[in-house]
Amino acid sequence: MSYNPYDPESKYIPILNPVGAAIIGLVFVFFTYQIVGGLITLAIFGFDLNTAPTNGFRIMTTIGQFIFILVPTLVLSQAIYRDIPNILRFKMPRLLEVLVFAGGMAILIPLMQELIAVQNYVLEYLASASSVFNSFKAVFDQLNTSLEGTYLRLISAANIFELSWVIFVIAVTPAICEELLFRGFIQHSLEFSTKPKWAIILTGVFFGLYHFSPYGLMALVIFGVYIGFTAYKSESIVIPMILHFINNFVTVVVFYIIGDTELLDASAVPPGDILYSVINVVLLSLFFIFFLYIVNKNYHKLKGGSDDLS
C-alpha cells in the first residue's frame, strides 16, 4: 500500500496495534449502533416496530447510521491513526477503475441470487431429513421473517418521490457509513498486520455477520470480499461506496418496478428444477473467478506499478 503507519519516516504512528484497532472498531460500533441505537429506537417507537411511522423509522435508521457508525469511525481513525484521509482511503479513482469493477457487479449480482437459491434448496432438504436441523432452521426462519418485515417497510415506495427518499435511506447511507467503517477503518487496519487477502476475507466475514441475515450471510460475505478486493486494488474508498450503492440501488428499483415481496425473501426455495440454478452458480463462479484473475494481474496497467494480491 502507499500508506504505512509503521514507516519510520511517517508521522502517522498508530497508538496501538492495528489488529487491536480493528477489534475495537468492530466492538465499539456494534455497541453504539446495535445496542445504543436499538435502545433509542425502542424508546421512541416501542417494542412493536410494525406500528411505528414508516418515515419516522426511515429517519431514525438514517440518523442512526451516521451517528452510530460514521461518527465513531471518524473518531477512532483520528484517535488511533491521527490521519483520517489516509486510513479511510480518501482518494479519487480513475473512471476506468470504476467501470471495470462495476462490470464485475454484472456477474456478481446474479451469482449471489443463484447461490442463495441453491443454498436454500440444500437447507430445506436437510431440514426435512433431520429434526435437529429443522429446529435450527425454524429459529433462522423466525429471524429472517422479522428482518424482512422491517426491510419491507423501509424499501416500499408508493411514488417516485418516496422512491428517491428510499434510495437515500437504503442505498446512499449504507454505502457511505458502512464502507468507511468496513473497507476503510477495519480492513485497512488489518492490512497493516496481515496479508491483504486475509484482511479482505476477514472483513468480508465481519461485514456479513454484521447484517444478522441468516440466509443472506453467504452472499453478503462474498459481496464484502469483492468490494474489499476493490478497495485494496484501487486504494480508494470511493469504488466500494459506488459498488455498495449499485447493489442496494438495484434491489430498491427492481422491487419498486416489480413489487414482488419474494425478491426480498432470502429464505425462498426456488421452484422447479434446482439443476438450472446449480449450473448457473458453477458457470457464473468460473466467469467471476476469471474476471478477478484478469483484473488482479493487469490492474497495474490502470494505475501504474505492481500491486498483485498475494
Q: Counting Cβ atoms within 10 Å, is residue 288 exposed (0-12), middle (13-18) or buried (19+)?
A: middle
- pLDDT for position 306: 47
Helices 217-234 & 196-210, crossing angle to 10 degrees? 140
* Grid coordinates belonging to 237: 474508498
- pLDDT for position 176: 98
User: 179, 230 in Cβ contact below 8 A?
Assistant: no
Identify which of 88, 101, 306, 65 has the alpha carbon closest to the alpha carbon of residue 187.
88
- 56-63: Cβ within 8 A, 24+ apart: 57/153, 57/154, 58/154, 58/165, 58/166, 58/169, 61/154, 61/169, 61/173, 62/168, 62/169, 62/173
Instruction: Kindly give, in sequence order, each residue whose CB lies less than 8 Å from that of residue 119, ignoring residues fewer than 6 positions away.
Output: 215, 218
- List the domain boundaries for the chain: 92-303
pTM for the structure as a whole: 0.91
Largest CA distance in the chain: 62
How far, in Å, CA of 52 to CA of 49, rounded? 5
Identify which of 264, 293, 291, 289 has the alpha carbon closest to the alpha carbon of residue 113.
264
Q: How far is CA 120 from CA 141, 280, 309, in A?
A: 11, 15, 32
What is the residue-level pLDDT of the chain in tens, covering all 310 positions?
445 555 545 555 677 889 999 999 999 999 999 999 989 988 888 777 677 788 998 999 999 999 999 999 999 999 999 889 999 999 999 999 999 999 999 999 999 999 998 998 898 889 989 998 899 889 888 888 888 888 888 999 999 999 999 999 999 999 999 999 999 999 999 998 899 999 999 999 999 999 988 899 999 999 999 999 999 999 999 999 999 999 999 999 999 998 766 666 666 777 667 888 899 999 999 999 999 999 999 998 777 644 455 4
- pLDDT for position 144: 86
